[in-house]
Structure 1
C-alpha cells in the first residue's frame, strides 16, 4: 500500500490526539487533523485526501453538513463517519449523503478502527 493521506475532523482534541498518535504508527498513513470543520473544509479544497474520518456531532457545523460539502467538492471521496450518538436516522442519512462507512465512539478498539480504515482505503 502506498502512503495514504487521512484527514480527521473532530471537535474533541482528545479524540484527535488519540487517533493521530495511533494511526501515525502505521508508516503508510499521513495524518492531518482539524478541530474546526470550517477550517478543514477550506484545507480540503487545497489538499487531496485518500480518506476522511468525520465526527457527526460538532458545535460549529454537524458532520452531515461537512459531508455534503466534501462530497460536492470530490464526489468519490471516501468518508468514515464517527459518532457517539448512534441514531439509526443519522447513520442512514450519512450513507445516503455518500459516507463510505461509520464507526461508533467510544471505539471498541483502536486496532479495529485501523482495520476498518485499511478496509475502506482498499475499496
Structure 2
C-alpha cells in the first residue's frame, strides 16, 4: 500500500506547551502534515481513520499510558512508526517501549535536534516503504 505525501504525523501529549513546541518544530519539516492531540483517545481514533504512519506519544498521560497507545498502533499491523517521548528516566519503561515496538524513545525535555532527526528518520523510512512498493508494482506489471 502506497503512503501518500504529505505524511501524516500524530503528536499526542497532555501537556499543551510540549505539544505546541513539538508541533512548531515538526511542522517545519518538508513532506509532513502534523496533527496534535492532548487526548490520547482522540489521537488513537485519528491514527485508525486517517492513515497516520508516524506517531510521537508521551508515555505518562492521565487518560491512557503512551505504551498502551503504542501497543494499539503495533496491533493494527499497518507499519506505524511510534516514537515515545518521556520525562521518566526509568530504564524499565524505556526497555518496555522498545520491546513492544517503539522506533525510538526520546527523553523530555525534548532536545530539538533529536526530535528533528527522529522525524527525518521516520520520513526516510516511509520514503523507502514507498520505493519498495513502487519497485514491486513495476516488477509485477
Q: TM-score of the superposition, structure 2-length normalised?
A: 0.79
Q: TM-score of the superposition, structure 1-length normalised?
A: 0.90
Give yes or no for contact 1:50–1:121 (8 Å, CA) kept in 2.
no
Q: Could you say which residue in structure 2 is the equivalent of 1:4?
A: 7
- Map 1:1-123 onto structure 2 (within 5 A): 2-108=5-111, 110-123=112-125
What is the CA-CA distance between 1:9 and the residue it aligns to?
Answer: 0.5
1:120 to 1:26, Cα distance in 2 relative to 1, 3 A: closer
Unpaired segments of 5 or more residues in structure 2? Answer: 126-141
1:106 to 1:122, Cα distance in 2 relative to 1, 3 A: same
SS at structure 2 position matched to 1:20: helix
RMSD: 1.4
Give yes or no for contact 2:26–2:119 (8 Å, CA) kept in 1.
no
Q: Where in structure 1 do 4 or more consecutive aligned residues deviate above 2 Å?
A: none
Count of equivalent residues? 121
Larger Rg belongs to: 2
More helix by share: 2
SS at structure 2 position matched to 1:45: helix
